[in-house]
Each structure stands twice: as structure tokens, then as C-alpha cells.
Amino acid sequence: MSMKIRLARGGSKKRPHYAIVATDSRMPRDGRFLEKLGTYNPLLAKDSENRVVMNVERVKYWMEKGAQPTDRVARFLEAAGLKEKTVRNNPKAAVPGKKATDLAAKKAARNAAPAEAAAEE
């Protein structure tokens, strides 16, 4: 059985509240889970101590049993010191697309034309 430690969404529309749960990876996001390990409330301030609350002993137990945390839960575990920090590198995310590159080139050419005319005088 492939185990995951992931978030299960609760709360009303536009007011999310998540439970950190241990579950079989084949179960739906908000469906059946084996154990609730904590909570995550994204509406609280980032420095609030109640934003992420976890039962550390149970998280360690499930990770020893082979449960894999999802990306977001892995970040919570890194912040708590339960998991070593992984290097995340996506260099293509900052590179503008073809359309934006063409637009920037046109804008640079348009701005350079009046500057050249002023320099000739």
C-alpha cells in the first residue's frame, strides 16, 4: 500500500482549512484517511504559531512506515526540522516567453529611436 502524508481540504468557500493526514495514495483528497496528524490554516499570519500544528511523533512514525509527504507537507516538515531541506531549482520559471520577449524588444527599439535622434543634434 502506497502511503502519503498530505493535506485534506475543509472549510467553506474562499475560507480554506486543511487537515494534515496519513492516507493511502489511491484515496480521494478529502476522502478516507487513516489518521489526522495536524492542521494547517493558511488564513493566519505566517508568523502565527497556530498556522501549522503537527503531531511530530506520529508524523515520524508514518514516515518510518514508508509514507511519502507531498511537496507542501514536505515544506512544513523542513520548517519543523523533521526533514532535510531539498534544493528546488526551476530556472525556466523566470524566463519570459516568446511573446513577452518580442514585446520587450519592440519597446526597447521604440525607446532607443528618440534617444538616437537627440544624440545626433
Burial string for 97-109 (b: 16+ CB within 10 Å, else e) reads: eeeeeeeeeeeee
Residue 119 has pLDDT above 80, yes or no: no
Q: Detail the DSSP E strand segments found in the chain.
A: 3-12, 15-24, 35-40, 52-54, 68-69
Whether 11 is in a domain gets the answer yes
- In total, the chain counts a number of residues equal to 121
Say whether pLDDT at 13 is over 90. yes
Read off the CATH number of the domain in which 7 is found: 3.30.1320.10
Range of the domain at 101: 91-120
pLDDT of residue 118: 64
Is residue 85 domain-resident? no
State pLDDT tens for residues 14-57: 999 999 999 998 888 888 899 999 999 999 998 999 999 999 99
Strands 35-40, 68-69: pairing kind = unpaired
Residue 8 forms part of a structural domain: yes
In a domain, 73, yes or no: yes
Residue 58 covered by a domain: yes
In which order are the strands placed within the sheet that holds 68-69?
A: 52-54, 35-40, 15-24, 3-12, 68-69
Residues 55 and 7 in one domain: yes
Residues in contact with 11: Cβ distance below 8 Å, sequence separation at least 6, in sequence order: 17
Query: Does a structural domain hold residue 86?
Result: no
Residue 16 shares a structural domain with residue 64:
yes
Residues 75 and 40 in one domain: yes
61 and 97 inside one domain: no
Q: What is the pLDDT of residue 103?
A: 94
Q: Which residues contact 86 (CB under 8 A, 6 or more apart)?
A: 74, 78
Is residue 108 a part of any domain in this protein? yes
Average pLDDT score over the chain: 88
